[in-house]
Structure formats: structure tokens, C-alpha cells
A and B are shown apart, each in its own frame.
Chain A
Amino acid sequence: MIRTEHLSREYGPKVALDDLNLRVDPGEILGFLGPNGAGKSTTVKILTGMIRPTSGRATVAGFDIVDQALEAKKRIGYVPETAALYDGLTAAEYLDLVSALHHLDRKTASVRSGELLELFGLADERHQRLSEFSKGMRQKVLIAASLIHRPAVLFLDEPLDGLDANAALIVKEVLKQLAAQGKTILFCSHILDVVERMCTRIVIINQGRQIADGTSAAIREQTGTATLEEAFSRLTGVHDVERVAADFISALERS
């Protein structure tokens, strides 16, 4: 349900994304990995219609993200990497706002909002302003807001960031069940063991280019490594982690 063809994005002279060809089908949870600054967030921003590609094309839920942006956005749920929320609103007000923007009727919105906040243990805090929420609580509100309109496609940029262990377990299970229902999920994370356990397929990008695509086992085999973590390090150019760490420590001690 997500397709990109030769997708590229430049910021002035800097190429953030270079000729990305991606395909994620319904029922799939794609682990989208890469080191910092590799182009993951740029890709997600293009696919959610927040920025335009410099060249290439992308469709989400069958709609072109540039020419049919509104139709595509109606079918998207997104948890951004930065917990951007209106701090002056309460959790309930924020979910009401999102429901209204997706044209859910009041009754449905109220029921779903109540259920989602209950699920995340935020029912008692629903009338508290988001400015008073902890990082994990804000993340829960963002996840609830991404699901409230039952989107066909989910983009999750570090969705477990700040969540307590119980909430993380719930989110992982929810995502698996949503995938089983046929939703398409693109999952960005730096926690590789979570990605390995949850995702049906993994794509790794580095410096804007796709460098690996396959199951965790296939990528490990391709790189001749025992774990996804080692495969990731090898593919993205860090070969001797111990030496880099030692250099780092000695630099700290020198200055």
C-alpha cells in the first residue's frame, strides 16, 4: 500500500534521499532503519505529505502523495519523531481535534478517545493539559491520535520512545494485530532487537540510498553476521565499535 519510485529529495546541495524505490504491502510491518541523518525522517515526511520530493513519485493507499495529498492523508496515521503537540490542550481535547479533522462524529470520537486513553492508562489524566504530561505520556497521546481514525497506513517514527515497558508491550501487540488485519505499517526505530522481532521485512538506508532489503535473517546472511545489530554496523560503515569507543573515551580524558 506504500510505493515509491526513484524518490529523491535535496536540500540545496545536500542530497537527503537518493532514488529510493520502496514497496510495502498490506499486512506488512516494514522496519525502516538507518543511522542518524540517513534520510529516514525525510522519507516519512514525504510519504505523509509534509514535504515534497525533488523528483520521483510516491503513492500511499493508492493515492499520489503530491497530486492527491488530501485523499492519501485521510488514510494515514503518523507518530512523528518529535512529539509535536499543542501543549495548551488537554489529552481529550487533542483527540477531539484530531477526530474532527478526520470528520468522525462526536459520539464515535468520544467512544474511541475514551477507549484509547483507557488502553494507555491515561483515563484519569484526560482533562490535564499536555504541557504537564511526561515524555512517555505525550507519546501515548500521539499513538492514540494516530489510531483514532482507523487509518489504513501507519507511519511510526520511534513510536516506543519514552514509553514504559508495559505500554511498549501493548503498542507492539497492537501493531501486530493491526498488521494481521491488513494495515500497512512503516516502522522507524533504532532499537534493533524490537525491529527484528516485530517486522516482517527490513529496509536499511544510508546517506539517502537504500543499502539492504529483506528479512532479518536474509540481511544477516548477506553480511555474514550473527545479529542484526552487527549487520547494521557493517552495512553503515562502523566496523570496529570497540576502537571507536576507546578513541571517544581517550578524547574525553585528553581535553
Chain B
Amino acid sequence: MRTLFDWLGVDFDQWKALTIVALKLDFRLSAVGRSQFRRNAGTIAGLVGQFIFYTLVGAFLAFLAWFSNSLFLIGTVSVSYTMFIVGTAVLLDHNSALASPIDYSVLGFRPIPSRTYFAVRLTNVLVYTLTITSVAAWLPVTTVFVRHGPAVGVATAAALFGSSLATAFSMLLAYAWMLKLVGADALRRALSYVQLVMSFLVYGGYFFVARVAARSVMSAFTLTKSPLLLLYPATWFASYLEVASGKTGLLELIPAAASILLLAGLAAGLGGRLSLDYSERLGQMTTAAALPKRAARSSEWPAWWFVTGEARAVALLIRRQFANDQRFRMGVLGILPMTVIYLLIGLRDGTVHDPFLPAPRGGPSPVTMVLIMMPSLLKLHLTRSEGYRASWVFFVSPADRVKIVRASKDVLVAFFLVPYLIVLTLVYTYMVGSLWHVIVHLALQGLLGYLVLQVAMLMDPALPFSRPARRGGNSMVMLVFLAAMGALSAVLNAYSASLYASVQSTLAVFAAILLAGVIVDRLTRARVERQTASLEFEG
């Protein structure tokens, strides 16, 4: 082992010490600042929750593996889901893993070779992603093992772990390349946009797979190979299953070989010159923060509708955090790829249509999903920050915490939901016509989104940017939320024409949502008052 590390130019002792510390920190990160008991309970509950969630993903794949005879279909769908969950995990939970400024301030002056540091970061991400893959893969692999034979079972495991590695490698490589290519002063912002592009790929890939899976299920669990489909890397790994079953034509061997070449290429890319100057680049990025910046123009900004001191403070904080906190900015911008992809898909499959007319086909409406989820997703990003220690100011100033929590909800709506609704109205109208119908439909969905946000606030009132950022939780919340909102949007899609059949029924629906909103608001006031009184500084 030591010899191998020496050969790679990695200091084994330092790698071991830093890797153990990195894993300890990841494990403990979610519970910084709590009592010993709550810390342990919180960490264990989080792990159990993730285990259950990823096992459920595996159960779906196992179901497919049991009922389908098409190994190509089983492989493609299983590999795609694996790539999606790994991609989401890296994107949402490890986006700062390769570029964490705290590492450089703690370790920058220690005698650590750059390649060693890079190896530690890589190991950290791989341990995390391979653990997720193991939890998600054990059920489908076992099922394939029993249903299709041991050789195919082993091939399934190889395909899932290989694709997981390839996904993590390619995302890390993209980050590392950006570190190298972009100038230090532009690096921090550039990384945000890389993540945005990756979001397109990950969410786009997810919906591609979801559509393929849905179509395949309807056509008796089979998937037809086409030249276009074989360009999709998941099919390369999926071909392992067919090769293991004895099908060794060119259409199976070439994709399998391509996957091995892909992995080798990515590994070589990560092990090459890129890792040599990695920590220096990281240092440049850290010091780039010291560059003189363009003066903030927040004081000129006419936030006249936020009149109370608390609301003004929260509005200012959220605006500046959006400009400067990469994690928060990405949380907000990450919604854009989903919207664009969902709009395109919705337009193609008929779920984006004139809402006053019956839906051409059933199923969830992706655009509705995003719109209803958006405010609550933003709330999720709003509470956690690397700079959570600065929230002491909420605890020592004579500010009303209830007003702060309520103001953060209002600011989210004013800054993000309303502009988003306006843009969406324009795009939707361009696509289907009928401006008035679109306005009514999107207003209804906006109100539903607001209601979900109110419920989220009711369940978990938190001061803005007051909790430590954590890894491992966001992706799971995101995926569970996707499923729940998918069901809600399917109902809305199916019944929208009936809802809008008459002015009375439309008004009744709006009135019902508004009434629900008022009730939740009353409940929230009472609960938030109690909850916020017991909030404690977590720094």
C-alpha cells in the first residue's frame, strides 16, 4: 500500500491522517454545537434516514430487475439512477469538497504535498459516494443474482460501482479543471456556474431515465437499443449485464470497452498534472477573496416594501448572501436547470398545455412540481450557511425573532418566487398562448407553493443562515420532495380543467387555498413564537 502511494507521489502517513480527520468531520458536521446526546442522536437518525431512503431507491430497481427479462433495460435504468443519486450527492452535498477555504487556512502552511491533499479530497468524496452506491445497490444486485444468475449479479455490481466511480470522477475532474483553467479572481464565481451546468446534466439525465423507464414499463419491461441511446454512458455500463449473460456481440462489447476506457481516462486525468498544483490553485482561490470588489449597491436598492427593521435587515442579508455565499447562490440558481428541463419535457409530453383544457395525458406536471417546491427548497438553503456563526447578531440585538423568521419568508417570496412567477408566466404564455389562463393557473400554483412554504416554516422555524452547513442531508430531502410534489402535481394536472370549468369553482379553489394559508399563518404565529423563543445560537 505504502509503495503504491509512494509511486503515486502521495505521502501515505499524511493521507491516512487527513482522510480519517475528513471522515470524522463529515460524520460530526451535521451536529456541531449541540449537546453530546442530541449530537449523537441527530447523527444516527440522519444516517438511518439516508439508509432507508437509498434502500427504497434500491427496492424500486429490484422490482424492475425481478419483473423484466431485458438485462439491457435493468442495467440502463439501474446505472442511470445510481449516476443520478451520486451526481446529486456530489452536487448538493460535496460541492465545496474540492474547494473548501477552511482547509487552506488550517493546512496551507503545513508541509503537505499538493498531490497528497488532492488524494485526501478524492478519497473523501469516493467513500461517501461508494457508501451511497452500496446501500442503493444491495437489493437490485441480490435480486439480479437470484433471478438472472450469479454471473449477471456480479456484473450488475460492477456496473453500478463502475458508473458511480465514473460519475464522481467526472464531476471532480470538472471541478479540478475549472480550478486550473479559470483565473483565481474569477474562480469562486466560475465554480458556481460549473455547478449550474452540472445541474443541467444531472437533472436532465434523471428525466431522460425516468421517461425511458416509464416508456419501457408500458411496453412490457423492454428497452430497444438504438445508436442514439448507445451514446448515453449509462448504457455502456449496462452492457456488462448482457456480456455476463453470454451475449457478446459488438453492440455489447464495444460499449463495455468504452466504459472501461472512460474510467481509465478519468483516473489518468485525476492522477496527472492536475493534482500537482491543486492546492496552490486552491490557495489562490482563497486569497482571491481579498481582491478589492466592486462596491455593493445595496443601499441604493429600493426595498421600500420592507418597512420594519427586522424585514429590512433580512432583505439586506439575503441579497448580500446571494451575491457572496456560493452555497446559497447555487441553491437558488440550481432551480433554474430543473425549470428549463421540466418546461421542455412538459411541452413535449403534453403536461405544459392550456390549463383550462383537459390534459392531453396524465401524470405529474414537472413545471408544477418545481413551482410548488421552489419556495420550500429556498427555505432549506436559507437556513444553513458556512458563516452560521455570524448569526449571533440575531441573538444579541433587540430584534423580534418571530419577525425575522416571518420576514425571511416574505423576502423569499418577494425576491425569488414573484420574479420567478413572472418569468414563468411569460415563457408559459409564449408556449401555449392564453395569457389569462396562464396567469390564473400559475397564480394558483404560486399560492400552493406559498402554502407549502408556510407549512415548512411551521414545521421548522429557523433564523436565516443560522445553522451549520451539512453534508448528506440535502440530496435526500430533495429526492423525497421530488416524489411528494410529483404526486401533488399529477393530481393538479389531472383536475385543472375541472377546477377552472367555471368562475365559481375557480374562485372556490383560490378561496380554499387562501383560507388554508390564513389558518397555517395563525398556527405559525403561535408556534414560531414558542419555537423562536427557545432558539439558541449554534456557534
Contacts and interface: CB of A to CB of B under 8 A. Distances in A.
A49 to B, nearest CB: 6
A70 interface: yes
B33 interface: yes
Interface in A34-70: 45, 48-52, 70
Interface string B102-129: 1011111111110000000000000000
A76 B280 CA distance: 18
B111 A102 contact: yes
Interface stretch (B17-25, B62-70, B476-484, B496-504): B17-25
Interface in A99-136: 100-103, 129, 131
B21 A87 contact: no
A71 B284 CA distance: 20
A187 interface: no
B287 A45 contact: yes
Contacts of B292: 11-14
B14 interface: yes
Contacts of B28: 88, 129
B349 interface: no
Contacts of A48: 108-109
B29 interface: yes
A14 B288 CA distance: 12
A129 to B, nearest CB: 8
Interface stretch (A78-86, A161-169, A230-238): A78-86
Contact of B109 (A76, A96, A100, A129): A76
A89 B25 contact: yes
Contacts of B104: 50
B185 interface: yes
Interface size of A as a range: 35 or more
Contact of A11 (B107, B108, B290): B290
B13 A51 contact: no
Contacts of B112: 101
Contacts, number: 82
Tell me if B's interface is mostly helix, strand, loop or mixed.
Answer: helix
A71 B29 CA distance: 33
Given A50-B283, A131-B32, A74 B14 contact: no
Nearest to A82: B105
B291 interface: yes
Contacts of A12: 185, 291-292
B105 A100 contact: no
Nearest to B109: A48
A97 B17 contact: yes
A73 interface: yes
Contacts of A86: 21, 25, 102, 106
A213 interface: no
Contact of A100 (B14, B25, B108): B14
A98 interface: yes
A97 B287 CA distance: 24
Contact of B13 (A13, A45, A103): A103
Contact of A80 (B25, B32, B105): B105
Contact of A101 (B33, B111, B290, B291): B111
Given A84-B102, A86-B21, A50 B33 contact: no
A221 B471 CA distance: 58
Given A12-B185, A86-B25, A98 B110 contact: yes
A51 B111 CA distance: 14
A13 B185 CA distance: 12
B25 A88 contact: yes
A98 to B, nearest CB: 7
A93 interface: yes
Most buried by B among A16, A50, A82: A50
Most buried by A among B33, B109, B291, B292: B109
A74 B111 contact: yes
Nearest to B290: A11
14 contacts: A12-B185, A16-B290, A50-B105, A84-B102, A84-B105, A88-B28, A89-B25, A93-B21, A93-B24, A100-B13, A100-B17, A101-B111, A101-B112, A103-B14
A-B residue pairs, 10 tightest by C-beta: A100-B17, A73-B111, A84-B105, A48-B109, A88-B28, A50-B108, A88-B25, A74-B111, A78-B109, A101-B110
Interface of A: 11-14, 16, 45, 48-52, 70-71, 73-74, 76, 78, 80, 82, 84-89, 93, 96-98, 100-103, 129, 131
Given A11-B291, A45-B287, 16 more contacts: A11-B287, A11-B292, A50-B283, A51-B283, A70-B113, A74-B111, A86-B25, A88-B25, A89-B21, A89-B24, A93-B21, A101-B14, A101-B107, A101-B111, A102-B110, A129-B32
